[in-house]
Amino acid sequence: MNCAGKSTANLGSSSPSEHLQLFLFPIVFLVKKMKNYLVAGASSGIGKAITQQLLDAGQNVFAITGKAEIWKEHPNFSSVAGGFLENDWQAVGLPETLHGLVYSPGTINLKPFRGLKPEDFRNDFEVNVIGAVKVIQSALKALKASGQASVVLFSTVAVSQGMPYHSSIAASKGAVEGLVRSLAAEFAPAIRVNAIAPSLTATPLAEKLLSTPERVEASAKRHPLQRIGQPQDIAALACFLLGTEASWISGQVFGVDGGLSTLRL
């Protein structure tokens, strides 16, 4: 039995993502002290998986989400006012101290460059970069109050690999990577800032790309590990980066991409 209360007796029947949950994530929360985490985009996909893992570990989650009813009965869950892309948004309901922040909202806008309009680039930048900026700024005082906080943002494998039809989203996520390194330098040593760069993951955001078994199979075959990502794969690393076991890691972008960014088979 590990510290998350899960049995390790039947590992042979577990999926790779379950292995990550069993061995990587529980290490983070060996310290019993309950901590406060802010998760933007907590109702769907990767953000939802991160929220669930934090709650399962007994942590307090303050979520910016339009679907707070998912966890409304959970004693460690609190909702923060949504609408962070609005000009007059304020993060009402934050605690005085935050130990970590996750910004998981994103976009998948795959079009030929000739068909993209400036509004497409602006929208991707607004969601992926400006939204992150606003949430981090709203939480900065509370993050500094903890003395050793962690921020996790999200990029994409398309930034490092150069993929067709990804110009708008890759431009925005490239800006996220620059933001990560700049803030990691500016906030050190009190706040660590890192990013995760996933490949295609089975989330509602990607459902159009994975709408048939044939599409899922074709996408899986593009990856050396021969499957697409699951939200739990990315959530496991995010929760590790939030915890004290990652206290000497900052300014990094980690690929969780089935080997796509580094392996050629």
Q: Which structural domains are found in the chain, ordered by start?
A: 32-202+231-255 (3.40.50.720)
Report, as an integer, the average pLDDT of 183-193.
98
Q: Which residue has the higher pLDDT, 159 or 83?
A: 159
CA angle 45, 48, 51 (to 5 degrees): 150
Structure pTM?
A: 0.85
Per-residue confidence (pLDDT) for residue 5, from 0 to 100: 36
The tokens describing 71, both together, are: 């966890």
Q: What is the pLDDT of residues 142-185, one digit of tens each?
A: 999 999 999 999 999 999 999 999 999 999 999 999 999 999 99
Tokens of 128: 């992926």
Where b means 16+ CB within 10 Å and e means fewer, 85-116 reads eeeebebeebbeebbbbbbbbbbbbeeeeeee
pLDDT value of residue 67? 79
Confidence label for 89 from pLDDT (cuts 50, 70 and 90): confident
Residue given tokens 């996520």 in the structure block = 173
- Would you state the pLDDT for residue 21? 54
82-86, 130-134, 141-145, 189-193: which range is least confident on average? Answer: 82-86
Q: What is the pLDDT of residues 109-149, one digit of tens each?
A: 899 999 999 999 999 999 999 999 999 999 999 999 999 99
- 233 has pLDDT over 70: yes
Tell me which residue of 69, 34, 24, 5 sits closest to 235, measured CA to CA: 24
Helix (H) or strand (E) holding 197: strand 191-198
pLDDT class of 14 with cuts at 50, 70, 90: low
